Amino acid sequence: QVQLVESGGGVVQPGRSLTLSCAASGFTLSSYGMHWVRQAPGKGPEWVASVSYDGSKKYYADSVTGRFTISRDNSKNTLWLQMSSLRADDTAVYYCAQEGDYYGTLIFDFRGQGTLVTVSS
């Protein structure tokens, strides 16, 4: 079955860096666009970044542009999110999500438990 396992979260000081990983299994990663979506405590989800199936196109939310980098290695079935210059408002559970296209509508398919990033001194 489809599984996405996020890891790499933790407590980090403001201004520091952290890299999240998402291990994919149960499907052919190279066939899907992938996304990172985060959710701050008590808030709705927020789309953070996306990468096309082949890694050629990358998009970022304004709130993370210039600080976060999304990447993937289809041969390793892994997605990453490199985060730098972290701020308190980056504190959230980070989910990776498989992209789906249903009748022309993009949906997020969340199959993992997320990883918590806490930015605090």
Partner 1 sequence: DIQMTQSPSSLSASVGDRVTITCRASQTISRYLNWYQQKPGKAPKLLIYAASNLQSGVPSRFSGSGSGTDFTLTISSLLPEDFATYYCQQSYSTPTWTFGQGTKVEIK
In the complex, which residues of this chain contact partner 1 (CB under 8 A)? 43-47, 50, 59, 61-62, 95, 100, 102-114
- Smallest gap, in angstroms, from Cβ of residue 67 to partner 1? 17
C-alpha–C-alpha distance, residues 43 and 92, integer Å: 9
Nearer to partner 1, 4 or 18 (CB): 4
- Smallest gap, in angstroms, from Cβ of residue 121 to partner 1? 27
- Smallest gap, in angstroms, from Cβ of residue 42 to partner 1? 9
Closest CA to 5 of 80, 57, 90: 80
